[in-house]
Structure 1
Amino acid sequence: MKENVIIYFKFQGRMYNVMMKTLGEKITFSMLEDRLMTKLGLDGNKVKLHMRYNPRLFGVEEEMNVCDDEDVCVYVTSAKNNRRSVLVVEEISKPPEPEQLPEQLSRVGNSSVGKNYTELNSEEDEMRVDDGALIVLLEEEQGTQHQLEAIVEDHGTQEDETRYDESMDNSDRGEQYVESPPAVEPGMFKKEWEDGIGLTLRQEFPNKAALHEVVDRAAFANSFGYVIKKSDKERYVLKCAKESCSWRLRASNISTTDIFSIRRYNKMHSCTRLSKGSSRLRKRKGNPQLVAALLHDHFPGQLETPVPSIIMELVQTKLGVKVSYSTALRGKYHAIYDLKGSPEESYKDINCYLYMLKKVNDGTVTYLKLDENDKFQYVFVALGASIEGFRVMRKVLIVDATHLKNGYGGVLVFASAQDPNRHHYIIAFAVLDGENDASWEWFFEKLKTVVPDTSELVFMTDRNASLIKAIRNVYTAAHHGYCIWHLSQNVKGHATHTNRDVLAWKFQELSRVYVVADFNRAYDGFKLRYPKATKYLEDTTVKEKWARCCFPGERYNLDTSNCVESLNNVFKNARKYSLIPMVDAIIKKISGWFNEHRMEAASGSLENKMVPLVENYLHDLWVFAEKLKVVELNSFEREYVVTCDKGIDYTVSLLLKTCSCKVFDIQKYPCIHALAAFINIMDDEDRRRGLELHDLVTKYYWAELWALAYYRTIYLVPDRSQWEVPDEVKALKIVPLSKKPKKGRKKMLRFPSTGEKRPKRQRTQNKRRPRQSCQWLLFGNTPI
C-alpha cells in the first residue's frame, strides 16, 4: 500500500498540516516548499520559506535548518514511534533582482571621455546585429549623458544570438546593450497526460471491488474511458478505451485471499480526451457505489447526508457525471451501509451488538425474541443509567409507538419519563413487529423487569386497544390515563354544526380543571353545548381516565403523550436506518442529552435548592403572593386562610401541602395561596420553626435529585473492529426479516389521524384564465 506522509508545521503561531501522497524518501525540498506555499496561500514569486525543527537529540538544543533535499529526507524519516518534531515555518520576502547587462557588453569602470567619436561611425567599426534586435547606445560627455536609441523591428527574424565583429575594439565604443526578442516555442500537440489515480506497483486492495471503485472514480474525475479486458477471481485487466493508447492496468489476487495487488501499471495516456475512444465516457452512467464513495469523501463518518437532489448536483460538480434521483437515493443508503453494515448484517449481528452495549454500560437490560425459525421478532433495550436515574424521577411514563421506514416494517416504541425540568428522559425503547396484543404484552413484561409495578406509577398513552389491554394485564397496580390531545381529536370528529377546533380546545380546557365542583359545572355546560360529542365521550371512556380532578393517581403536569410524540420527530431520520444504525443513533442522542442536562444541573449554586423551572415560577409568583391577605387558623397545624384579589377564600395547610384550589395538591409545588402563607410566617422564626420553601416542594423537584438522575455516563458501542465477543454469542444465529416490497412511490408521511388537518398548498393563480366566479359571469374579465 502507498504510505501517505503527514507533516505538522507551525506558521505565525498557528498549527497546520499537509499530507504528502508519496513515500517519505521521494519528497524533495521543492515539492515540500510548493505544498506549504499552496496550503498557506503564499506567492512563491514574492516570498520564500525558511524551515527549521528541533532534532530532539540528547544534549543538543540547537535547531536544524531544512535547506535541501537531503535535509527534507532526514526530517521525514526521523520519526520515532510515529512521532516527529513540529516543523517551524517562517516567511521571508525575496529581495528585488536588479537588471543586469550582458557580460560581454558591460562597460563598468570604463570611460569614453577623450575618444574620437567620428571613428565610431566608420564602416570598419560598424556593429552588425540581427534585424530583430533592439540597440541602445549610451554616450557620456563631460558629465552629461546623452542616450540614443536605435530600434529595429523585424518580426520575421527569430535568431537567439547576436553577432559581433571580432575586430571591433570594445574599449573604443560607447556602452551598448542589445536586447534579444522573446523566444517563441513552436506549437505542439499534447503528447501524454497522467490518469490521476496515483497507484503504485505492489499496492494492495482488500478486494477487486475496492480497486474497481478507485479506478472508476478517477475515470470520472479525469474524464477518460477504459475497457475491462479480463475480470475474474484471479485477474483484473484494464486498458484505455482508445486502442492506440498506452494506458494499462493489471492486478491479480494474492494466493487464495481476496486481496488484489497491482502487477503492471502505466499511468500515462497517449490519447486525447477528444478522441472517439474516450468519448465512451459519455455513455457511462454513475452508480450507487460511485455516489457513496463521493459522500464518504465529503461527509466522512456521517450518517446524515444531503437530500438526493443536492447529491445529484454534487456528483455533477465533482465528477462531471449526471445521475438520476433514484441512483442518488440508493447511493445515499449505500453510504450508510458502508458505515454501519447492510440491513441483513444488522439483524445477524444484533446479538453481538447487544453484548457490547451491556459491556460498556453497566446495568443495561436487553431482550431479544426470535420465532420458531430463528427469525427476528422483537428487541428491547433499557440503559442502566436511565434505569438508575428513574428512581429519583416522577413515576409517570409516557408510551407510544411510531412506524419504521426501513423497508422491513415494524414499529419503534418508546417508554419515556419527563425530568423535573421537563426534558426527555427515555427509560426504554423497543422494536416490535406491530401494535398488536402479543407485541404490546411482551414489551410491558420486559419493561416490568426494570420498572416495577406500584400504585405510584402512572402510564400516559393514547387509546390503542392492544396497548390498553397490555397495561391492564401486566401492570395491575399502576394507574392509566389517556392523552387528552388524542382524545380531543376523536371527540371533535363526532360533533356536527359547530367549529370542531373550538370544540377540541374547550374539551382540553375542561379536562384541566383542578376542582371537582368547577369541573361539574363546566362539564354540564359542555354537555349542553355539544351533546353528540358528549355522548361519544361517555360511551367510550370514563372521567377518571382524562379529567385532572378525577384522576386517582399522581400525574403532575402530564396529561398528554406529546413527550413521546416529539421523540418520533427527533428520530425521524433514524427510523429510515437498518436495525443497528437506528439503535446506535438513539443511544447517541440519549448520551448527548445526559451530558447536556448534567452540565445544566451542575450550573446552579448551592442556594438553588429547586430545579430552574419551579424556582423561576415561584420567583415570578412571589410579587403577586405577597399582596394577598393571610389569616392564621392553626399555628401548630400550619393552617391558613388566604383571600385572593377576587375576594375568594382558600384554605391552605403547609403541613399537609394542600390547598382548596387543588393546584398545590396536584402539581406538588406551592400555589399562589400557599406561597402567600409561607411569606406571612417567613420572618417569624417561632412560627416558621425551620420550615424552608423547598420543603413545600416534592423531592422530585429538588435540584439535588435532578443532578443524581444524570450522574452516570452513557457510552456508545465501539466500532465493529473493536468488538470482543465470546464465541458462544457469535454462534447464535438470527434470520433477518423478509423485506416487504410495496408498489408505487415510498410514502414518507403517515396518514393523518382522526380530526387532524394538514395545511394545503395554496392554489396557483392562472393569469391566462382567471378563476370563474359570479363576477366573471356578469362582467367578464373586465375589472369593475
Structure 2
Amino acid sequence: MDGMVTLYTAEQHEDFELHENLEHGYEGTEVGMEVEAAREGVEATTVVEEEWDDGLDLVKGQEFRTKTAMQVLVQRGAHKNGFEYDTLKSDTGRFVARCRGAKEGCKWYLRVAKLKNSDLWTVRTYVKSHTCSVVTTSTLRNRRRGTPQVVASVLGEEYPGRYDTPRSSDLISMVTRKVGVKVSYATAWRGKRLAANEVRGTPEESFSMIHSYMHMLKLKNPDSVSYVEVDAAKRFKYLFFAFGASIEGFVAMRKVIIVDGTHLKHVYGGVLLVATAQDPDRHHYPIAFGVVDGEKDESWTWFMNNLRSVISDVDGLVFLSDRNASLIKSIREVFPTAAHGYCVWHLSQNVKGHVFNNRDVCAIKFRECAYAYTVAEFDVLYDAFSRKYPSAAEYLEKSVEVGKWARCYFEGDRYNVDTTNAAESINGVLREARKYFMLPMIDVIIKKMAEWFNKHRKKAAQIPATKKLVPTVETQLSKRSLEARCLDVVEINSFHLEYNVNGSDGKVYTVDLARKMCSCRCFDIDKIPCVHACAAAKFLSVGTDLHLQDFCSVYYTVEL
C-alpha cells in the first residue's frame, strides 16, 4: 500500500524485504531506526496504522467563491465519510481545522486563506489522510450536527434554480440519505429558506436594488411608469409600476377597472395591489401593480394618484372593488367623476352571513337579484328575497346602496363585469410568487404578463379577416341570430328604427336600433345586441347592406 512500510521477519531468513514510497525517504525516522535495528539482528515489532482518504478531493491552490461554500463542503465530507474535526481558527481571513483524533496521531489538517484584493478563498495547506478510527468517531457524544447551510446545499443539488422544494418535514430524510446526518425540523426549515434566498435573493437585496431594477425595466419596456417611495430614513415604503404595453393597450379596453389587494407572505409582509381590466374577449388585462405596507388610507390614495397619472380620469370610467373603506375613500377622492360598484360575489358572501339556514341558497338568490337587467324584474326577485331572508335584506338596506350592486340601478357602463374575479384570478396565479421577495415576485409578474400577451396576440392574429368581432362576442351573437329567426317583428317607426319584437317568452319587447336600446335592457347594459335587437336588425337588413356588428360597442370589434 502506498505510504506503508512492511517488514517481514523470519527465524530462518536474515534478509528483509522493504517496500517504500519512492517520494519519501525514511532515513532518520522511527521507521528507519527500526529497519536498522532489524538489520543488526535486533528483534523489532512495528505497529502500523491504516490510512484512509477524507473524500473531499481538495487540492492545494483550489479556490472557493466564499468561505461558507468551503465550510459546507468540509461539513458534508465529514458527515458522509465519518470523521470529526475541530476548528482551530475561523475569521475574516483564514480557516484552520484539524482532525479531532489529532491527539491519537491523526495527521488530517486543512488551512484555507482569503486571497489579497479578492473575495476568493484558497487552500493553502491540506493533509487529506486520516488514521483515526471511524468506529470511534461515529459514536462520539459531541458529533458535529447538520447545519442549515448543509440542507441548502442538498437542495441546491437536487432542485437547482427552483423556488418550490419539498416540505421541511420531508427534507429531514432527504438530508440523511444524501449526507449521512440527521437534522432537526427547525434546521431543515432554515435550510429551505436559505436555499430559497440563494435562488431569489434576500429581502435586503431586493429593496436595495429596486431603483436600478425599475430603471432597467423602463429601458427594456418603453413608456413604462414606476414610482418608488421611501420614508424619512430612506427605507422602502411604496412601489408602483405599470408596463408601457398595458398603458398603450388600455385605449382599446372597456373602461372598467377592477382593483384589489392581497397579502404578501414573506418575512416583511406587505400588500400587493392590482389594477386590472378585462379585454373584450374576457381575458385578464393587468394595468398596474403596487407594493405597500397595508390597505390603509395613505397607501391606497398614493396608489390611486399614481394610477391616475397612467390612465387619467377619462369619461365613463368605472371602478369595481370590494368594500374596503380605505379603497372606497381613495377612489372617491382621486377619481371623483368615476362610477364605483361593488363586487357582487363578495357582497353575497357577506349577505349569507346574516342568515342561519340555507346560506348558500341565500347567496345565490341575492346574486339573481343583482344580475337582473330591468327594475321590474329586480323588484319581483328582491321582494321574494326579502320575504324569505328578512335579516339579510335588512343588512343590505342599512349598509349598502342598491345602486352599488344592482345591475339595473348602476349609474355607469360596467358591461357584463359584476365581480372582481379578474383581480382575484391574478392573485391566484401569483399565489406562490407572493411568498417571494420583491424583485423575484416582479420577475414572475413580468413573465406571466409576457406569456399572456404573446398567447392572446397569436390568437388574435388567427382571427379570419371576415370576422369583425372578437371570438367570444362572435359566438354569442351567432347563437342569438339563430334564435332571432323565430321571432316576429313589427315595425313601429322606420325613421327612428323602432320595432316591437314578440319574444320567445310571450312578451313584447321594444327595440330602438338608432339608440341601441331594448326594453329588456340587455342591449343597453352589455352593449351587445340582444336576441330582440338581432331580430329587429334582421328585419331592417332586408334590401340594405347592414351588419350586426355595427350595433355592438366599438370595444368588441377586432380592430378599434
Pairwise CA distance, 1:450: 0.3
- CA pair 672-218 structure 1, distance change in 2 beyond 3 A: farther
Which of residues 431, 442, 448 is equivalent to 1:583? 442
Which of residues 460, 469, 472 is equivalent to 1:601? 460
> Which residue in the other structure is 1:775 paired with?
none
> Which residue in the other structure is 2:115 paired with?
254
Where do residues 577-656 of structure 1 align in structure 2 (5 Å cutoff)? 577-656=436-515
Pairwise CA distance, 1:278: 4.8
How far apart in 2 are the matches of 1:230 and 1:585?
43
Code of the aligned partner of 2:513: L
- CA pair 554-200 structure 1, distance change in 2 beyond 3 A: same
Code of the aligned partner of 1:302: R
> Which residue in the other structure is 1:436 paired with?
296
How far apart in 2 are the matches of 1:413 and 1:681?
48
> Which residue in the other structure is 2:20 paired with?
none
> Which residue in the other structure is 2:245 paired with?
385
> Which residue in the other structure is 1:696 paired with?
551
CA contact (8 A) 1:657 1:665 kept: yes
> Which residue in the other structure is 1:774 paired with?
none
Where do residues 651-662 of structure 1 align in structure 2 (5 Å cutoff)? 651-662=510-521
How far apart in 1 are the matches of 2:82 and 2:469?
66
CA contact (8 A) 2:368 2:381 kept: no
Code of the aligned partner of 1:701: Y
Code of the aligned partner of 1:696: F
Pairwise CA distance, 1:467: 1.2
Structure 1 ranges of 4+ moved more than 6 A = none
- CA pair 277-528 structure 1, distance change in 2 beyond 3 A: closer
How far apart in 2 are the matches of 1:280 and 1:426?
60
> Which residue in the other structure is 1:336 paired with?
196
> Which residue in the other structure is 1:356 paired with?
216
TM-score (normalised: structure 1) = 0.62
- CA pair 193-664 structure 1, distance change in 2 beyond 3 A: farther
SS in 1 for 2:408: coil
Pairwise CA distance, 1:658: 2.0
Code of the aligned partner of 2:441: M
How far apart in 1 are the matches of 2:184 and 2:534?
66
How far apart in 2 are the matches of 1:205 and 1:310?
30
CA contact (8 A) 1:417 1:426 kept: yes
CA contact (8 A) 1:250 1:263 kept: yes
Q: Encode CA deviations 1:72-116: one digit per residue, 9 max, x unaligned.
A: xxxxxxxxxxxxxxxxxxxxxxxxxxxxxxxxxxxxxxxxxxxxx
How far apart in 2 are the matches of 1:249 and 1:281?
24
Pairwise CA distance, 1:252: 1.5
Pairwise CA distance, 1:399: 0.9
> Which residue in the other structure is 2:400 paired with?
541
Q: Is 1:555 the equivalent of 2:414? A: yes
How far apart in 1 are the matches of 2:453 and 2:141?
52
Q: Is 1:394 the equivalent of 2:249? A: no
Larger helix share, 1 or 2: 2
> Which residue in the other structure is 2:72 paired with?
213
Pairwise CA distance, 1:624: 2.5
How far apart in 1 are the matches of 2:392 and 2:534?
39
Q: Is 1:286 the equivalent of 2:141? A: no
- Alignment RMSD: 2.4
Gaps of 5+ in 1: 1-188, 706-784
> Which residue in the other structure is 2:310 paired with?
450
- CA pair 673-313 structure 1, distance change in 2 beyond 3 A: farther
How far apart in 2 are the matches of 1:635 and 1:327?
81
The percent of aligned pairs where both chains have the same amino acid is 49
Pairwise CA distance, 1:346: 1.9
- CA pair 554-317 structure 1, distance change in 2 beyond 3 A: same
How far apart in 2 are the matches of 1:629 and 1:702?
28
SS in 2 for 1:676: helix
> Which residue in the other structure is 2:330 paired with?
470
SS in 2 for 1:302: coil
Pairwise CA distance, 1:387: 1.1
CA contact (8 A) 1:455 1:479 kept: no
- CA pair 231-624 structure 1, distance change in 2 beyond 3 A: same
CA contact (8 A) 1:223 1:281 kept: no
> Which residue in the other structure is 2:5 paired with?
none
> Which residue in the other structure is 1:265 paired with?
126
SS in 2 for 1:549: helix
> Which residue in the other structure is 2:45 paired with?
none
How far apart in 1 are the matches of 2:194 and 2:358?
49
Pairwise CA distance, 1:272: 5.4
Pairwise CA distance, 1:518: 1.6
Q: Encode CA deviations 1:45-81: one digit per residue, 9 max, x unaligned.
A: xxxxxxxxxxxxxxxxxxxxxxxxxxxxxxxxxxxxx
Looking at CA atoms only, which structure, 1 or 2, has the larger radius of gyration? 1
CA contact (8 A) 1:225 1:281 kept: no
> Which residue in the other structure is 2:10 paired with?
none
Code of the aligned partner of 1:328: A
> Which residue in the other structure is 1:300 paired with?
160
> Which residue in the other structure is 1:375 paired with?
235
CA contact (8 A) 2:82 2:134 kept: yes
Q: Encode CA deviations 1:632-655: one digit per residue, 9 max, x unaligned.
A: 444554433322222212222333
CA contact (8 A) 1:225 1:279 kept: no
CA contact (8 A) 1:224 1:281 kept: no
- CA pair 620-310 structure 1, distance change in 2 beyond 3 A: farther
CA contact (8 A) 2:84 2:143 kept: no
Gaps of 5+ in 2: 1-47
Range that drifts further, 438-447 or 351-360: 351-360
Q: Encode CA deviations 1:111-137: one digit per residue, 9 max, x unaligned.
A: xxxxxxxxxxxxxxxxxxxxxxxxxxx
- CA pair 616-309 structure 1, distance change in 2 beyond 3 A: farther
Pairwise CA distance, 1:548: 0.3
Code of the aligned partner of 1:195: D
